[in-house]
Structure 1
Amino acid sequence: MASASVVGGGARHGGERRRRVLVFPLPFQGHTNPMLQLAGALHGRGGLCVTVLHTRFNALDPSRHPELAFVEVADGIPPDVAARGRVAEIILAMNAAMEATEDESGAASPSNIREVLASVVAAGEGQPRVACLVIDSHLLAVQKAAAGLGIPTLVLRTGSAACLRCYLAYDMLLQKGYLPPKESQLYEPVRELPPLRVRDLFSTNDELVFEVLARIAETVRNSNGVVINTFEELEPMELERVHGELGDDSVATVLATGPLHRLSSMNTGSNTFNLRQDQSCIEWLDTQATGSVLYVSFGSLASMDSDEFMEVAFGLEKSGHPFLWVVRPNLVRGVERACLPDGFESAVEGRGKVIKWAPQ
């Protein structure tokens, strides 16, 4: 059985034994931060012991969160897959490695998540009993392993309820010909998902992405509940529809607990690229009229080619609106630092601000 080294995280609170919750985020910033915020809320507000399982890929720093326990998991992502940086490929490779019982040499796989979970549950003398495991919806392999060990799972959806509803409808969208999207149908309504049009769905023909979407739906439907980083006042109709659809699948709990960053005082500090957050943009924003600024950011992973980058630049220049544009290193494929079009900076002077990374 794989061994698990647990770092940090006390087992008692006010002299009373607590329950323990395991959490396992997807190792990308937009997924890790909400999971750590949920972990902080469970620990700080709920008085629970929390153990964070995390991959070596984009590994977390336990020293930043001494109130939590951490277990590093071998993710088994091949170096060439990690180097290519295709998110869907990384997610699928990670799940495949976690499901494998043997590595390429025939030895027991250190990435096998069932063995890791069993070790974590058994590890730590005096640790409270594990109540459940909260996983990112992309980690189907983890959900299957937990079910085999009798560990209840909750899925954290870091996006909106509307987005989750589209993911849950993946099979229907495929069967009815909405996917893959066709150029001639982009403006047609998706009658089963009002008020969406085909163009509002997943704008890709990448088979790997579609496989990831199918696995997300399967993970959610197979779990004991789903936690969505949203709230009733923001998405009342979408949440009602998600409740109805998942109720048919016997998913016991649908919780709209967001925004998670308001529930936890924990400073997640997760930054995939270790970029310095440019605080000057906050001062600049304070000088702009309320609701006037376009914020443009493609996150920590998405990339584009140089022509797409230029189109964004020209669009912002011609928009006439104040804008804050995050242009991080490696945003443009094959180029560490993107070059703005000639004359762009003078054309938008006083109206636009370009930074490497915004405060998260």
Structure 2
Amino acid sequence: MEEQKRRGIRLVLFPCPFQGHINPMLQLASILHSKGFSITIIHTQFNSPNSSNFPNFTFIPIQDGMSDVQPTVALFSQLNVNCAVPLRDCLLRLLSSGDAEGGERISCLISDAIMHFTQGVADSLKLPRLALRTSSVESFLSFAAAVSVSRQKSSLPISDSQLEMPVTEIPPLIAKALPTINTNDIEILFQLLGSTVDQVKASSGLISNTCDHLEQSALATLAQEFSIPVFTIGPFHKLFTASSSSLLSQDHSCITWLDTQPPNSVIYVSFGSIVGMDEAEFVEMASGLANSKCPFLWVVRSGLVRGSERVEPL
């Protein structure tokens, strides 16, 4: 009965065009489609998903002004600028043409939280927007805490005693342990995170790729800091896999080794497609994993170590 009520309602989803963001968004789309909603995916041409793997969804590409770009923090900010007008124009066309194909009513826009410009676009069209956090609530609280402390540091004289104060959102860290604004990349990062946090607070709700049992205390803190509904319907991958939405050819050579390991025994490490580290950090991470005496699978992509395409220290 509930699924029948949802027929005729279309949801528009707009992912951030990076692997760790596209996968959860398409998993969420699959979950929502299984509940009776029609799905439209508006996406950038940069890192566009393979629409042939999702025949039940409607895919609409928009211009993003990106070509031959390297994944950096600044790229997130550039996407937030370049996509604003194309996304608004696309949504306006959908809304003015009987809302969507078949006359279906568009109920809301669901966009990746880091694509913070979408809140302004949704507001201008009087369309509710739900933000999606593709990773843990704890990580989002750490973003909010870092933004709060960095804003204090950049606008107020902070005493030594204040720097020793605990960060209530992410104990046991203290204020001076959080990053400071001292380089262009860090400044861009905090501007991005600040806008992300602010626009999540302005949204109609937050969808989180987690569940209550995993992050009970973090969710309690989030409820105190954010006066919006929070929907914990993850982990998404337990309901729908994302293998068909990979942007890269997948290396399956590790599977044979994985199959020989006991269940729940392997540490999996991946820093995504943006994070970089210097050689000393890389060696320290490798040493920590080796000293754990646990089997581990570490995704070491080309370019992870700054200034080196290879990973000789490993």
TM-score, with structure 1 as normaliser: 0.74
Change in CA separation of 1:201 and 1:22 when aligned onto 2, cut-off 3 Å: farther
Instruction: Report the equivalent of 2:30.
Output: 40
Q: The residue matched to 2:226 in structure 1 has which SS? A: helix
Change in CA separation of 1:329 and 1:196 when aligned onto 2, cut-off 3 Å: same
Instruction: Report the equivalent of 2:77.
Output: 92
Conservation of the 8 A alpha-carbon contact between 2:27 and 2:236: yes
Instruction: Report the equivalent of 1:283.
Output: 256
Q: The residue matched to 2:17 in structure 1 has which SS? A: coil
Conservation of the 8 A alpha-carbon contact between 1:136 and 1:155: yes
Conservation of the 8 A alpha-carbon contact between 1:43 and 1:50: yes
Deviation of 1:262 (Å): 2.1
TM-score, with structure 2 as normaliser: 0.84
Instruction: Report the equivalent of 2:16.
Output: 26
Report the residue type matching 1:54 in the other structure: H
Conservation of the 8 A alpha-carbon contact between 2:11 and 2:108: yes
Conservation of the 8 A alpha-carbon contact between 1:139 and 1:219: no
Is 1:207–2:187 an aligned residue pair?
yes
Q: The residue matched to 1:135 in structure 2 has which SS? A: strand
Conservation of the 8 A alpha-carbon contact between 1:189 and 1:196: no
Q: The residue matched to 1:276 in structure 2 has which SS? A: coil
Change in CA separation of 1:75 and 1:201 when aligned onto 2, cut-off 3 Å: farther
Is 1:323–2:296 an aligned residue pair?
yes
Cα distance in 2, alignment partners of residues 223 and 15 from structure 1: 25
Instruction: Report the equivalent of 2:244.
Output: 269
Change in CA separation of 1:287 and 1:168 when aligned onto 2, cut-off 3 Å: same
Cα distance in 2, alignment partners of residues 112 and 149 from structure 1: 14
Q: Of 52, 62, 76, which residue of structure 2 is paired with 1:63? A: 52
Is 1:340–2:312 an aligned residue pair?
yes
Report the residue type matching 1:220 in the other structure: V
What percent of counterpart residues are identical?
Answer: 36
Deviation of 1:175 (Å): 4.4
CA offsets 1:43-76 (integer angstroms, 9 cap, x no match): 01x1110000110111111111001111101112
Which of the pair has more CA radius of gyration? 1
Deviation of 1:146 (Å): 1.1
Deviation of 1:237 (Å): 1.5
Cα distance in 2, alignment partners of residues 70 and 19 from structure 1: 16
Report the residue type matching 1:270 in the other structure: S
Q: The residue matched to 2:272 in structure 1 has which SS? A: coil
Instruction: Report the equivalent of 1:4.
Output: none
Q: The residue matched to 1:213 in structure 2 has which SS? A: helix
Change in CA separation of 1:17 and 1:289 when aligned onto 2, cut-off 3 Å: closer
CA offsets 1:274-311 (integer angstroms, 9 cap, x no match): 13232x43332343345554433222332334444344
Cα distance in 2, alignment partners of residues 315 and 166 from structure 1: 23
Change in CA separation of 1:132 and 1:283 when aligned onto 2, cut-off 3 Å: same
Cα distance in 1, alignment partners of residues 167 and 225 from structure 2: 16
Is 1:231–2:198 an aligned residue pair?
no
Instruction: Report the equivalent of 1:151.
Output: 127
Deviation of 1:219 (Å): 1.6
Conservation of the 8 A alpha-carbon contact between 1:20 and 1:48: yes
Report the residue type matching 1:263 in the other structure: L
Deviation of 1:172 (Å): 3.0
Deviation of 1:199 (Å): 7.9
The structure carrying a bigger helix percent of its residues is 2
Larger relative contact order (C-alpha < 8 A, sep ≥ 6)? 2
Q: The residue matched to 1:230 in structure 2 has which SS? A: coil
1:139-178 alignment runs, 5 A limit: 139-177=115-153
Cα distance in 2, alignment partners of residues 61 and 219 from structure 1: 29
Conservation of the 8 A alpha-carbon contact between 1:27 and 1:59: yes
Report the residue type matching 2:9 in the other structure: R
Is 1:299–2:284 an aligned residue pair?
no
Report the residue type matching 2:103 in the other structure: Q
Deviation of 1:171 (Å): 4.8
Cα distance in 1, alignment partners of residues 15 and 282 from structure 2: 30
Conservation of the 8 A alpha-carbon contact between 1:113 and 1:141: no
Q: Of 219, 225, 239, which residue of structure 2 is paired with 1:245? A: 225
Cα distance in 2, alignment partners of residues 293 and 196 from structure 1: 27
Cα distance in 2, alignment partners of residues 201 and 213 from structure 1: 17
**Unaligned regions of 5+ residues in structure 1, if any?**
1-12, 100-110, 345-360
Aligned-pair Cα RMSD in Å: 3.2
Deviation of 1:131 (Å): 0.4
